[in-house]
Amino acid sequence: MSGRDGRGHDLRVHARSLALLYAVGGPFVVLTTSLYRPAGRDEAVLYALGGVAYLAALLLRVASRWIPGWAYPLLVALGTLLITVGIDASGDGASAYAALYIWVAVYSYYFFRRWQANLEVALAGLAYGLVLWLGPSSSGPAARWALTMGTIAVAGRLVSSLVDQVRARAAEAAARAEGLREAERRTRAIIDTANDGFVAMDEQGRVVAFSPRAEQITGFAAAEVLGRPLAETLLPARLHAGFQHELSGFLDTGRSSLVDRPIEFVGVRKGGEEFPVELTVAPLRDGERWVFNAFVRDISERKRADRAMREHTEDIARISDVARDLSGVTDAHAARPAICKAARELGAAKVAILFEPDPKGQELISTAIAGAQIEQLHLPFTAAPTGAGTAFSSGRPHFVTDTIGHGGVAQPVRDQLGVISALWQPVLRNQVPIGVLSLGWSERVEEVSERVRSLMALLAAEAAVAIERADLLARLEAVARTADLTGLANRRAWDEHLPRELARARREERPLCVAMLDLDHFKEYNDERGHQAGDRLLKQVASTWREMLRPSDLLARYGGEEFGLLLPHCPLERGLDVVERLRGHTIAGQTSSAGVAAWDGEEPADSLVSRADAALYEAKKRGRDRAVPAPPA
């Protein structure tokens, strides 16, 4: 035994109980000695025993903390010997002091293990037996011993049984209490380590418990919020009244939209920062009062993830819309402006420019722009490095926070458009750069968001497909509007182009001429030299004449050996000069005839062509190899 004996009793209880026995036994001996004086009694010994009992009681009360557990059975045995000495000194084997053995038995069976108690009773029985047989005379010693020891045995058995029952129930109660404490410890451990903060409130909404996780979530220490209303501590002022109203409503009616379900609230951290929380309030009846257990979850990350997911879904939808719009563009010239428009909208930029390499691969040129109107930009590869050139050559996006003083930004973009920050996104086809999509912002952008970068990468991929489709459409258009043999514009291109030029001439109030040219005796030439020779003649004449014309002029193969010539910004006299120069370069010794008509500013295209054709017929009528002006309409 150390601090506790085998039955789990504190040694101080041992000491107090044993001291009580000694303290009661001492007066009992002294009192009976004083009042009852039979012959043969040794009063000195009895008074001495009383004094020893007093001293033992005092010692047990004063020095109990220093008395080890193994000493208590010895102290009880000492008491047994003192009782035996008292019986012997009393001069009467039937002395009432024998009743003190019962106290020994009761004490032993209560405090000691069963075997220890049995030893104490056996010691008492042995001592009492010896004093009866060897000590003062007494009538019926055997019967007296049997009666006394029987009484001790019965009393000890009853006490032992009673103690066992009491201790069993006490053990059960202790086990239940320990179970409750363990459950409380587990609950506290779960609460303290849970991802949710735990807050308990009383009926007035005052905080009575605040877990460590709640401290982490809110920034408040428990000491700062205990006793304060939860609403006034952790919720913004605009929600105080509503929260308290719901709490009071539950106390009045037992119903509230606030309890037993998670509700999203706006919480307030210690520094005043608002953040989204999920609050679950569970009411618990505690006697006559209610306690509200609230679980607080910081859902900032979930909200950010939800927002990111929504943005991602929106972005995919926007890119899908852009892809659908681009795929629906059938005009080869409209695809590139549509790409720039989409880039400007997706990037919330001031301007978007599409750069592509020129046919010779010597520079990047702007092929489309959205958000501004400036002249076409030229960025030679051999000049100083540019942002567009860097993105094109590396195949990776390039970003500049501040374009002021940055040599990689074209001056018109910086000065005329007021672009402060710029991003260049390469447009790749099969991992090969075919262009650069540039975004410019009029305000300083420290860093382009990952969202915008992703959008631009997706748009660039769609742009590559759209550009390829646009180029294919352009080639198909060119094929559809080009005569196979000569490479000149065909009749379809002529019929589309002429009305546009007439409308422009009308807007600009400038003259315009149309001429119809025909190779003289081409049928005979074909018959004499063969169709291949005739084809070569047509190709050579078309090539020679085309090189003699301005870029704005249109030479078309109108049909067979007949050509149409459109001369913008050209009066009749100059038109006749141009036609005469062309006729003078009719190769292979062949001649040609022409009719020239000047537009009057009002007549439709077919009427103008008819007049030129009639003049051509008149030239052939006059003997061919000449140009004839058409009379006014």
Catalytic residue among 246, 496, 561, 618: 561
User: Helices then strands (H, E): number in the chain?
Assistant: 20, 16
- Give the DSSP H or E segment for 208: strand 207-210
> What would the two tokens of residue 144 be?
């007296």
Which DSSP string corresponds to 140-194? SHHHHHHHHHHHHHHHHHHHHHHHHHHHHHHHHHHHHHHHHHHHHHHHHHHHHHS
| Cβ(625)–Cβ(616) below 8 Å | no
- Is 288 tagged catalytic? no
Tell me the C-alpha distance between 443 and 350, whole Å: 9
- Let me know the angle formed at the C-alpha of 111 by 106 and 112, rounded to the nearest 5 degrees: 100
Rounded to whole angstroms, the Cα distance separating 135 from 141 reads 10
Give CA–CA dist 389/594, Å, rounded: 51
DSSP H or E segment with residue 477: helix 450-480
Q: How far out from the chain centre does Cα 76 lie?
A: 74
Q: What is the spatial distance between Cα 149 and Cα 170, in angstroms, rounded to a whole number?
A: 30
Bridge partner list, 427:
435
**What is the rounded distance in angstroms from the CA atom of residue 430 to the CA atom of residue 417?**
33
Check residue 405 and report its DSSP letter.
Answer: T
Strands 398-400 and 421-429: antiparallel
How many Cα atoms are found within 13 Å in the side-chain-facing hemisphere of 191?
A: 19
Q: Which residues pair with 210 in a beta bridge?
A: 199
The amino acid sitting at 268 is: V
Q: SS3 letters for 420-472? A: CEEEEEEEEECCEEEEEEEEEECCCCCCCCHHHHHHHHHHHHHHHHHHHHHHH
**Paired tokens of 538:** 């047509």
Could you tell me if 437 and 352 are in contact, meaning their C-beta atoms sit under 8 angstroms apart? yes
- In 3D space, the residue among 564, 545, 543, 562 whose CA is nearest the CA of residue 501 turns out to be 564
DSSP state of 10: B
Check: CB of residue 595 under 8 Å from CB of residue 616: yes
Rg from Cα positions in the chain: 59
Q: Which phi and psi (to 5°) does residue 222 adopt? A: -55, -40
Do the Cβ atoms of 494 and 557 come closer than 8 Å?
A: no
Cβ neighbors of 514 (< 8 A, separation 6 or more) are 498, 564, 565, 566, 567, 596, 597, 599, 608, 609, 612
Residue written as token pair 């002395």:
95
Give the active site residues.
561
